[in-house]
Amino acid sequence: MIYNLFEEIEHQGYYSIRQRVCHEIYDLVFDSIALRVGINLTSRNTMARKELLSFILNMGDDEFSVLTVKKHRTVQKEIALEIECILRKYYRQYIDKPFCFSDDHSQGYPCFSWRIVRPFKNDIGHVHYDDWFRQKGITTDVPPYSMYKTLKIWIPIESTPERTNLVVFPFSHKDVHSNSSDISDISIEMSKNYDRKMVKNKPLEPLVFDMNLLHVGSYNDTDMCRVSIEHELHVSV
Q: Which is nearer to Fe ion, 47 or 71 (CB)?
A: 71
- Of all residues in the shown chain, the one whose CB is closest to Fe ion is 130
Determine phi and psi for 67, rounding to 5 degrees: -80, 0
Angle between the N-to-C axes of helices 24-37 and 46-57, in degrees from 0 to 180, rounded to the nearest 10? 40
> Measured between alpha carbons, how far is 59 from 93 in angstroms, rounded to an integer?
40
Q: Which is nearer to Fe ion, 31 or 212 (CB)?
A: 212
Q: State in angstroms the smallest separation of the CB of 197 from Fe ion.
A: 16
Q: State in angstroms the smallest separation of the CB of 182 from Fe ion.
A: 16
Q: Which is nearer to Fe ion, 68 or 236 (CB)?
A: 68
CA atoms within 13 A on the CB side of 143: 17
Q: State in angstroms the smallest separation of the CB of 199 from Fe ion.
A: 13
Q: Which is nearer to Fe ion, 130 or 175 (CB)?
A: 130
Q: State in angstroms the smallest separation of the CB of 3 from Fe ion.
A: 26
Q: What value, to the nearest 5°, has the Cα angle with vertex 159 and ends 116 and 68? A: 10
Q: State in angstroms the smallest separation of the CB of 130 from Fe ion.
A: 5
Q: What value, to the nearest 5°, has the Cα angle with vertex 233 and ends 92 and 202? A: 70
Q: Which is nearer to Fe ion, 130 or 205 (CB)?
A: 130
Interface map 115-144 toward Fe ion (x if CB under 5 A): ---------------x--------------
Interface map 162-191 toward Fe ion (x if CB under 5 A): ------------------------------
- Does 210 interact with Fe ion (rule: CB under 5 A)? no
Binding residues vs Fe ion (CB under 5 A) = 130
